[in-house]
């Protein structure tokens, strides 16, 4: 039997953090009804130099979207009033009339990860599981600058235990 010691563990190679290229400052529209997650998302995005517009339900996010252009939308799936899937469908319907194709990344509980087909059908580009992993969020936001949102979020999802 081999007993591992703390000393031996500390000598083991540590996994390198995911290399994330710094992204250009983006204007990000966020829909999230949970205060703790609102603060976390705001802190992470501000650290990246992005401009944040925070809303707390699906009705507000659609209203803000129709007033202003954004580079990226982060959409909580479970929200009061109008949920994230309904809000995404409404935004896609507006875009069908006015043009544009804003990347939308869903933020969702682990239990709903199996609903991938439903998410994509609603018009979401990608989704990140909650609790939010800061490096996965930063990778997805960085990818929004080069149109690779789906790829980055898929990688983040695979790495999530
Ligand atoms: Mn929620």
Query: How many angstroms does the Cα of residue 39 sit away from the middle of ligand 1?
Result: 13
Q: State in Å: Cα 3 to ligand 1 middle.
A: 44
**Can you tell me the distance from the alpha carbon of 105 to that of 31, in angstroms, rounded to the nearest whole number?**
10
Question: What's the pTM?
Answer: 0.77
Which residues, chain by chain, have CB under 5 Å from ion ligand 1?
33, 76, 78-79
Q: How far is the CA of 66 from the centre of ligand 1 (A)?
A: 22
Looking at residue 3, what is its pLDDT?
52
Q: Give 75-115 pLDDT, tens digit per residue.
A: 999 998 899 999 999 999 999 998 889 999 999 886 666 77
Q: Tell me the DSSP string of 126-146.
A: EEEEESPPHHHHHHHHHHHTT
Domains of the chain: 24-156 (3.40.50.2300)
Give tens-digit pLDDT for 52-63: 999 999 999 999
CA distance 140 to 142: 5
């Amino acid at each position: 039997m081999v007993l591992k010691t703390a000393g031996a563990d500390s000598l083991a190679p540590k996994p390198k953090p995911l290399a994330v290229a710094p992204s250009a400052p983006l204007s990000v529209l966020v829909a999230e009804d949970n205060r703790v997650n609102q603060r976390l998302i705001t802190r992470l995005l501000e650290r990246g130099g992005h401009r944040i517009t925070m809303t707390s339900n699906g009705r507000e996010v659609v209203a803000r979207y129709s007033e202003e252009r954004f580079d990226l939308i982060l959409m909580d799936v479970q929200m009061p009033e109008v949920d994230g899937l309904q809000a995404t469908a409404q935004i896609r319907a507006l875009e069908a009339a006015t043009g544009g194709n804003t990347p939308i990344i869903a933020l969702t509980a682990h239990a709903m990860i199996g609903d991938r087909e439903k998410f994509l059908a609603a018009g979401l580009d990608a989704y990140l599981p909650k609790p939010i992993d800061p490096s996965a969020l930063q990778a997805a936001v960085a990818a929004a600058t080069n149109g690779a949102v789906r790829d980055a979020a898929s990688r983040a999802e695979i790495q999530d235990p």
